[in-house]
A and B are shown apart, each in its own frame.
Chain A
Amino acid sequence: MMSLGESAVTAVAVSKRFGATTALSDVTLRIAPGETHALVGRNGAGKSTLVSLLTGLHQPDGGEIRFGGEPAPPVADRGAWRQRVACVFQRSTIIPALTVAENLFLNRQNENRQSEPSRIPRPIRWKALRRRAGDLLEEYAVGVDPGALAGDLDVEQRQLVEIARALSQGARFIILDEPTARLDATAIERLFTRLRALAESGVTMLFISHHLQEVYAVCDTVTVLRDARWVLTEPVAAIGHDALVAAMTGEAAGLTDVAARPPVGASTPAALRLEGLALDGAYEPVTLDVRAGEIVGVTGSGSSGKVSLAETVGGLRRAGSGTLSVGGRLVAPGSVPAALKAGIGLVPQDRHREGLVPLLSVAENATLPIADRLGPAGAILPGRRRAVAEAFIERYDIRAEGPDAPVASLSGGNAQKVVLARALSTGPKVLVLINPTAGVDVRSKESLLGAVRAAADAGTGVLMISDELDDLRHCDRVLVMFHGRVTTELQAGWSDTDVVAAVEGVSG
Chain B
Amino acid sequence: MTTTAPSTAAAPGPARRRTVPRLARMRDLTLVPAIVVLLVVGALIDPVFLSRTNLVNVLQQQTELSLLVLAETLILIGGRFDLSLESTVGLAPALGVALVIPAASHGLGTDWATALAVPICLLVGLLVGALNGLLILRFGLSAFIVTLGMLTTLRGLQIGITGGQSLFDLPPSVMYLGNATWLGLPLSIWLCGGLFAAGIAALGWFRHGRAVYAIGGNVDAARAAGIRSDRVMWAVFMIAGVLAALAGLLMTGRLGSIAANQGEQMIFKVFAAAVIGGVSMNGGKGTLFGGLCGVLALGLISNILTLAGVSAQWIQALYGLIILIALILARLTTGKAQD
Contacts and interface: CB of A to CB of B under 8 A. Distances in A.
User: Do the two chains belong together in a single complex?
Assistant: yes
B213 interface: yes
Interface in A85-140: 91-99, 102-103, 106-110, 117, 121-124, 126, 140
Contacts of A109: 207, 210
A156 B213 contact: no
Contact of B213 (A98, A141, A142): A98
Contacts of A197: 1-3
Interface string B1-45: 111111111111000110011001000000000000000000000
Given A143-B5, A143-B9, A156-B9, A123 B221 contact: no
Contacts of B123: none
Interface centre among A107, A142, A148 (most CB of B within 10 A): A107
A98 B217 contact: yes
Interface string A133-159: 000000011111101110010101100
A124 B210 contact: yes
A341 interface: no
Contacts of A91: 220
B226 interface: yes
Contacts of A97: 213, 216-217, 284-285
Contacts of B16: 145, 148
A194 B4 CA distance: 7
Contact of B210 (A96, A102, A141, A160): A102
Contacts of B224: 93
Given A79-B226, A109-B207, A95 B20 contact: no
User: B interface, how many residues as a size bin?
Assistant: 35 or more
Interface string B199-225: 001001111101101101110111011
B8 A98 contact: no
A80 B225 CA distance: 13
B191 interface: no
A121 B206 CA distance: 7
B217 A107 contact: no
A145 B24 CA distance: 14
B284 to A, nearest CB: 4
Contact of B221 (A95, A108, A157, A200): A95
Nearest to A200: B1
Nearest to A118: B207
A197 B3 CA distance: 6
B235 interface: no
Given A82-B226, A106-B227, A143-B11, A94 B221 contact: yes
Contact of B6 (A99, A143, A145, A148): A143
Interface centre among B8, B16, B222 (most CB of A within 10 A): B8
A107 B211 contact: yes
Contact of B220 (A93, A149, A154): A93
Contacts of B7: 190
B29 to A, nearest CB: 17
B6 A93 contact: no
A193 B4 contact: yes
A360 B221 CA distance: 37
User: A interface, how many residues as a size bin?
Assistant: 35 or more
B18 to A, nearest CB: 8
Contacts of A78: 226
A147 to B, nearest CB: 5
A110 B9 CA distance: 27
A201 interface: yes
A142 B9 contact: yes
Contacts of B24: 99, 149
Contact of B201 (A123, A142, A156, A160): A123
Nearest to B206: A121
A468 to B, nearest CB: 30
Contacts of A145: 12, 16-17, 20
A96 B21 contact: no
B6 A190 contact: yes
Interface in A205-242: none
Given A93-B220, A96-B217, A190 B4 contact: yes
A106 B4 contact: no
Nearest to A199: B1
A107 B214 contact: yes
A154 B7 CA distance: 13
A12 B17 CA distance: 48
A4 interface: no
Nearest to A193: B4
A187 interface: yes
Contacts of B210: 98, 102, 106-107, 109, 124
Contacts of A99: 21, 24
B218 A193 contact: no
A107 B8 contact: no
Interface of A: 78-79, 82, 91-99, 102-103, 106-110, 117, 121-124, 126, 140-145, 147-149, 152, 154, 156-157, 160, 187, 190, 193-194, 197, 200-201
27 contacts: A91-B220, A94-B218, A95-B213, A95-B222, A96-B217, A96-B284, A97-B284, A97-B285, A98-B210, A98-B284, A99-B24, A102-B210, A106-B210, A107-B207, A109-B207, A109-B210, A121-B208, A123-B201, A123-B205, A124-B207, A124-B210, A141-B3, A144-B12, A145-B17, A147-B21, A148-B16, A154-B8
